[in-house]
Amino acid sequence: MSHEVHHFSMGGWLFALAYITSAVGCYAGLSCARKAANAWTSVARTRWTLMAALSIGGVGIWLMHFIGMMGFDVPGSAIRYDLGLTLLSVALAVTATLVGLRILDTDVQWIRGLPSDVRLLVGGVIMGFAVAGMHYSGMAAVRIQGELEQGRSYVAASVAIGVVASIVALWLSRVAERPAVRIPAAAVMGCAVVALHYTGMAGIAVTVDPSAPNPEGMTIMTLLFPGFIIGVALLAVPVVALMASASTQDLEQEREMAIWLGGDGPETVSRPYGRHGNGDVM
């Protein structure tokens, strides 16, 4: 017998918090992805791409998911979470984003010969399925006093949203050069991530069995407390790196100033983040 399920038991503010968290993580990730695209060296590209994957996958996707899960409630049953499956879900989110971004990287030998549109499509499909896998591995970690089932049509719809959103996200990671463009781009990505989450949640049906043993595992709060700390750290690292990185405009101004003062200018100064002439920081 299907049981009552609440998705906003703590109020609508939780939905707003989940969306803001996703959008902020996506914005930081897009900024890092632009730095990766403009980097001169493979080491710098790898570093920026990894920070982009941690920001988008770890904060924009995974942390948003568990903030949303704070509002999930099944009257008559406690809710617990399996730690192993929860850790698997965050690994999937970060890895999926990293793979998607790396597929667009022309320095990767095995995909260098593929057209950019094909790389975008392949990367988006892989990333979309893996992000959806993150959501459902996170849901597989849920333990209640009874059974929890997912509606197939909702699963299919959420996977489709994930694939489309991933393709758009990867495309935006290449075209969102200026901060003014990345703000609406991150807002769109945040909408897509939240849409995937709540589409999947809408298809949940639970059956509570009072005779079943109480579920074992961690509560949502014990998961989210370290999750918030890790999330803040994940955002702090790329934000500090973005603020500290020299822009193309800064280096050009230094060169012109040195010439004006009678020197030769810092001609030997490398331009590690200006491969495409982009001079923004955030």
Tens-digit pLDDT profile for residues 10-51 = 888 989 999 999 999 988 888 888 888 777 778 888 888 899
Question: Is 153 within 8 Å of 218 (Cβ atoms)?
Answer: no
The stretch 204-209 carries a mean pLDDT of 88
The residue with greater pLDDT, 202 or 276, is 202
Pairing of strands 146-150, 142-143: unpaired
According to the per-residue pLDDT averaged within each range, which of 28-37, 110-119, 153-162, 215-224 is highest? Answer: 153-162
Spatial CB neighbours of 115, under 8 Å, sequence gap ≥ 6: none
**Nearest-10 Cα torsion for 221, 223, 225, 228:** -120
Alpha-carbon separation of residue 83 from 40, 110, 204, 228, 233 (angstroms): 40, 36, 21, 16, 20
* pTM: predicted TM-score of the whole model, two decimal places: 0.79
Instruction: Specify the pLDDT at position 276.
Output: 44
